[in-house]
Chain A
């Protein structure tokens, strides 16, 4: 009795376009964690190729499942073309070599994920990961939308994608992407007509995806945020990039504590950066030879005997901090109490371990505090031989770096005077301000010499910018220079005890002077403390406390933010105070992100439950176990969704009469007759109601206003309230 609705075209290109768009937009949500747009283009090409290829196959009447297979083959070809064309036959057909290449790319991607912090540079590895992932998603979307015929459920996959960025520390969900994804998905829903097939299987898939999304949301707060510049023992780790993130994260959790004999605060140095080429800065290959930590030299490298130096003993206790580099004052001559195997590199006195880490270490460092006087430094020359790596000007160094260096210090007579001039330029004269957020906003965050141009123009940045800029400027002036990374002296607790927090993480330049060795400078405005020698050969009273008036320059009212000459660590500036509200902003933002993600998931619950109910009713109707009751229930529910409630005491016929203006008359009549015959007629299996039911309920939606329709889909009223009809009595049936 039910005639199937007239055959539709085999491919509804509108739905294909909407499904493709949904996937594309949701992938685009990764823009908050990836730099550039090349990756999006690659993913876009992949997605469009896969979905259009399978749709085109369907259009020429290839069976749906086979069409998905064809689309998958097209996807493989496009992934090969985008990621490893040189290894493939004709650039498209993968060979064993292609698989090897993919393996390498995947490994590269893993490493890249471990090393980079967001927004990350999408190198070949990440692009491969992204393209391959997009290809898999394209197949899933194709299966859901066109084989299982439940296009609506692609929304859940898209939802998971949209949530992905918050998995990365510092990642965030772009509300625009959320809205755009939702809009694209609504387009899918509105364009969709037929979902009578396989709703149950698809519902299971959809429910699984939703459960996954929920689980992710629940798990998200427990994703450990890397409060450290470097973590684990990985190689090629880029501490510079994560430094900014760590500062911004504003975690002032204590990372270590130490006491010194003489009560002085100590810069705790961990490693040096001297290779500024490429996007990722790091220690150069200079450190070829390492020695056991017990073999530390008694003297700081390159320090002449006449330069005064005093040994200081520092007892350090590390808590949760876990890196392969040991925080230690410069220059360490002896380290006791370490567990595990530790080595040092003689050029830099960087102490590191190949296995284990710093977590829970409790050790004592004896170090020489080298304190040359300005006069001693004044006469020093700067060497060239043996220091080539520290003088190397990286390719593509922005013009402004050298030019500024010449402007600021070109006229000075000695290398020391040039260094002081550079430091003063940053701290006092140049009008620089300290900001952890500005580089991010100005898009010159991270590493790579390109950022220096932005920094020098904006005159706003944090320690990495100051330190690397001064280092490279010194190099252009012929002074060997490198960047040291470690911790500021921290907060004095009294009696020689200090506490160092995560946001005391710092970077500073070290410049080499013949006879004085590596000398620390402090160009970062408002942070750190100036060593006496670095206060400049003040014309009047060297060694006195020149009042460096940078407090006027710094947009901060923090009284301790001045770079006081006093070595007292109690004067250690507090980074959050200096940086205003910026540190911690990310944490504050991420909480609403979780809430938003949670709400987003919750917002889809009514829709999913409603769809599942509908799928269950359609399945029950098909099975015939409960007669026409599921058809009636679904009809009443859909009508309620669009604002027509079944009244108490209303018969099916009276109810249908009220639906009549909004539904095709013949189909509604057939459906009603079927329902009545099943409910009240002599027992006979109700059959063929499904098609009529789908048509009538769809018509009810179609003939409602767009607002009603959207509400019916997103927040179905039928889930709550509504009249509860009593089930027919279970009395034996007479007559038969």
Chain B
């Protein structure tokens, strides 16, 4: 696969999802970036702005297996991973895979489930396998979790601990649609569900090849250093209690590669890093108590901190000298 083929497929997916999600190209683009970078996506926003719709549209545009888990307080870990059941005929335990066995797993309202259940999903996200009754079962590949959650201030929610938020490559929020987008949505949804009309754009092998292609996108030492500098600065920032992890660096660069490929470029620009720094880094950061005491919620503080750090980090220029 080369850059232009990739670009063609990617544009197809973006167009298809765009027919369902009106006026949110950035969110759609970030979601696809995460998918192509083999990451997991956290969509966080108030109910009713299309979080689930985005997840489902993205899943549907790819011709893979898609499962959807509605998280509730009484959901058990085995409801996600699957259970071993004794088969009377074969007289042996057989593994009955849970919904996590799919290419795209949509986890709705993940913060409504108990921490125990949440961690079952989050562990499988990281390990890309589940272990039931001492036996490990590999998950599908490609495997992406698109989780939605309501803001933590809502009733009946268990906020994801920071260690678990770290598993998500990126966090986006949808935001309310603007006037025209909302009007368009009204007209479209009255007659038929656009989601039903959405046909898969790429099949599974193509998606796998696209993901393989993203791995080959070139990251120059200059850009690597740029990303590292940004991440390291978050660990020193006065407004932040917890900075981003090394895993964040890795995921920032990986996401940037996917973004570059989405643009039809075979190398990463500092601009790609800049554009992804807030979605990739902000949800991993913990503001200090003082910086949130004025009523600003922690995510806003973290977002502003990331923006400030990116603006203050100088961009390396000049080609490295080949050794």
Contact = CB atoms under 8 A, between A and B. Distances in A.
Contact of B323 (A651, A681, A728, A732): A732
A681 to B, nearest CB: 4
A725 B323 contact: no
A652 B317 contact: yes
Contact of A682 (B225, B266, B317): B266
Interface residues of A, number: 35
Interface residues of B, number: 27
Contacts of A197: none
Contact of B314 (A649, A683, A686, A735): A649
7 contacts: A648-B311, A682-B266, A728-B225, A729-B222, A731-B221, A733-B220, A735-B218
B317 A683 contact: no
Contact of B220 (A652, A680, A726): A680
A649 B313 contact: yes
B268 interface: yes
B222 A679 contact: yes
B220 A681 contact: yes
Interface stretch (A18-26, A277-285, A417-425, A626-634): A626-634
A725 B321 contact: no
B310 A651 contact: no
A155 to B, nearest CB: 33
Nearest to B223: A680
Contact of B321 (A649, A686, A723, A730): A730
B319 interface: yes
A680 B313 CA distance: 17
Interface in A707-736: 723, 725-736
A677 B314 contact: no
Interface stretch (B94-102, B153-161, B269-277): B269-277
Interface in A614-646: 626-629, 632
B318 interface: yes
A505 to B, nearest CB: 69
Contacts of A648: 311-312, 314
Nearest to B308: A649
Contacts of A110: none
Contacts of A725: 314-318
Given A680-B220, A731-B221, A652 B315 contact: yes
B317 A632 contact: yes
Contacts of A628: 319
B134 interface: no
Given A648-B312, A680-B222, A728 B266 contact: no
A726 B318 CA distance: 9
Contact of A677 (B223, B267, B271, B323): B267
A650 interface: yes
Nearest to B274: A651
Nearest to A682: B218
Interface in A584-638: 626-629, 632
B320 interface: yes
A683 B322 contact: yes
A735 B221 CA distance: 11
Most B Cβ at <10 Å: residue of A626, A652, A683, A728:
A728
Contacts of A679: 220, 222, 316-319
Given A680-B220, A733-B221, A733-B323, A728 B317 contact: yes
The 7 closest A-B pairs by CB, nearest first: A728-B222, A627-B319, A681-B267, A732-B323, A629-B318, A731-B221, A682-B218
A731 B218 contact: no
Interface in B204-228: 218, 220-223, 225
A82 B224 CA distance: 72
B225 A729 contact: yes
A629 B316 CA distance: 11
A734 B271 CA distance: 21
A647, A677, A680, A736 pick with most chain B CB within 10 angstroms: A680
Contacts of B312: 648-649
Interface in A363-382: none
A653 interface: yes
Contacts of B267: 676-677, 680-682
A654 B271 contact: yes
B218 A649 contact: no
Contacts of B319: 626-629, 678-679, 683, 686, 728
Interface in B281-323: 310-323
A678 B318 CA distance: 7
Nearest to A673: B265
A146 B273 CA distance: 48
Nearest to B317: A725
Nearest to B309: A649
A727 B318 contact: yes
Nearest to B217: A682
Given A650-B315, A680-B268, A681-B266, A729 B320 contact: yes
A679 B218 CA distance: 12
Contacts of A735: 218
A648 B266 CA distance: 26
Nearest to A681: B267
A629 B222 contact: no
A653 B322 CA distance: 24
B25 to A, nearest CB: 18
Given A723-B314, A728-B318, A730-B320, A651 B222 contact: no
A733 B220 CA distance: 7
A357 B178 CA distance: 101
B271 A653 contact: yes
Contacts of B271: 651, 653-654
B281 to A, nearest CB: 15
Interface in A347-399: none
A727 B220 CA distance: 13
B320 A728 contact: yes
A729 B221 contact: yes
Contacts of A677: 267
Interface string B248-269: 0000000000000000001111
B320 A731 contact: yes
A726 B221 contact: no
B320 A649 contact: no
A649 B316 contact: no
Residue picked from B269, B312, B319, B323, most chain A C-beta under 10 Å: B319
A729 B269 CA distance: 15
B163 to A, nearest CB: 30
B313 A728 contact: no
Given A632-B318, A686-B319, A727-B318, 9 more contacts: A648-B311, A648-B312, A649-B314, A654-B271, A679-B316, A683-B322, A727-B317, A729-B225, A735-B218
B227 to A, nearest CB: 12
Contacts of A680: 220, 222-223, 267-270
B308 to A, nearest CB: 10
B231 to A, nearest CB: 15
Contacts of B316: 679, 725-729
A1 to B, nearest CB: 15
A650 B319 CA distance: 17
Nearest to A655: B315
B218 A681 contact: yes
A501 B259 CA distance: 89
Interface string A674-699: 00111111110010000000000000
A647 B310 CA distance: 12
B213 to A, nearest CB: 15
Nearest to B220: A680
Nearest to A723: B314
A650 B317 CA distance: 11
Nearest to B319: A627
Contact of A726 (B268, B314, B321, B322): B314
Interface in B69-122: none
A733 B269 contact: no
B230 to A, nearest CB: 10
Q: A676, A678, A735, A736: which has the most chain B beta carbons within 10 Å? A: A676
Which has the most chain A C-beta neighbours within 10 Å: B267, B274, B313, B315?
A: B315
A650 B314 CA distance: 7
